[in-house]
Amino acid sequence: MESRLRVLLLIVCAVALGGCSMWPFHRKHHRAPTQVVDTIESDNPTAPIVEPQVTRRKVHAPKIRNSNFEFGGSLGLLNVEDFGSNGVGNARLIYHITEDFFAEGIYGESRLGLTSYERLSGGARLLTDAQRKVRFYTLDMGYDIFPGEVYVGKRRTFNSAFYLVGGVGGTQFGGDTRFTITVGAGYRLILNDWMAAHLDVRDHLLDTNVLGSMRSTNNLESTLGVTVFF
């Protein structure tokens, strides 16, 4: 009798466990985060995503005439060694051989001041008034070493060039004409289609014996002038 009860209990337990295994229950499923990738469809895959909005400004550059010659004049200072700095004026004719090379002829005049000896002597003069007048002429070759542009404001630009020059000529003063070698540099700014401004610094190297002995001198000239194209 006892064994039958045990068998009956085992059957009841087995049925109960089977029912529990079939009982529905809910689990919480955690889904992995889904990455959203934005894609941009384009006919041209290499086209930039953002198109820059650039406002183009209008720049008016001077239209240079098809002219190879320039003519004009300059004013400035000429420092003749031992005679101080004095005003100088010159006229110049320029011929543009190529876009970078040019030939130039210059004629200038100045007047010598007093030397330190003449100031200290109290009246002695080494040169007469006529001999103090300086005349010089040079024939130079030039090269535009740094051509460029200068911007003024938002809508104006000017062509420019930094150039080197060198040449030979003669300088007349003190009753004699002396062979002269000229070297220097300048800056050209083209203002419009027919006119240009020039800033020049040059050294006139010559031998002189005005003070008694022959010696080489360096005579610096600085000028500012304008030329016209034709």
The band of 208, judged by pLDDT with boundaries at 50, 70 and 90, is: confident
Tens digits of residue pLDDT in 21-33: 444 544 444 455 5
Determine, yes or no, domain membership for 55: no
Token couple for 142: 């030039």
Radius of gyration for the alpha carbons in the chain, expressed in angstroms and rounded: 46
pLDDT band at 47 (very low <50, low <70, confident <90, very high): low
Q: Find the DSSP H helices in 96-218.
A: 116-121
Would you say residue 172 lies in a domain? Answer: yes
Question: Half-sphere exposure (CA, 13 Å, Cβ side) for 184?
Answer: 24
129 found inside a domain: yes
Residue that the structure tokens 């003069």 belong to: 125
Q: Is residue 79 part of a domain?
A: yes
Would you place residue 214 in the very low, low, confident or very high pLDDT band (cuts 50, 70, 90)?
confident
2 φ, ψ (degrees, to nearest 5)? -65, -40
The answer as to whether 160 is a domain residue is: yes
At residue 11, the pLDDT reads: 66
Query: Distance between CA 80 and CA 204 in Å, rounded?
Result: 9
pTM for the full predicted model? 0.69
Q: Distance between CA atoms of 174 and 112, rounded to whole angstroms?
A: 10
> First vs last Cα of the chain: how many Å apart?
142
Helix spans in the chain (H): 2-22, 116-121
What CATH number does the domain containing 205 carry? 2.40.160.20
- What is the number of structural domains in the chain? 1
56 falls within a domain: no
Cα 147 from Cα 134, distance rounded (Å): 34
Asked whether residue 18 is assigned to any structural domain, the reply reads no
pLDDT for 189: 95
Domain, as residue range, for 86: 69-229
Task: List beta partners, residue 73.
Answer: 91, 226
Q: Is the pLDDT of residue 164 over 60?
A: yes
Q: Is residue 201 part of a domain?
A: yes
pLDDT at position 124: 75
Contact present, 71 and 228 (Cβ < 8 Å): yes
- Of the candidates 197, 185, 202, the one whose C-alpha atom is nearest the C-alpha of residue 228 is 197
Q: What is the pLDDT of residue 4?
A: 59
How do residues 134-163 score in pLDDT, each as one tens digit?
999 999 999 999 999 988 887 788 999 999
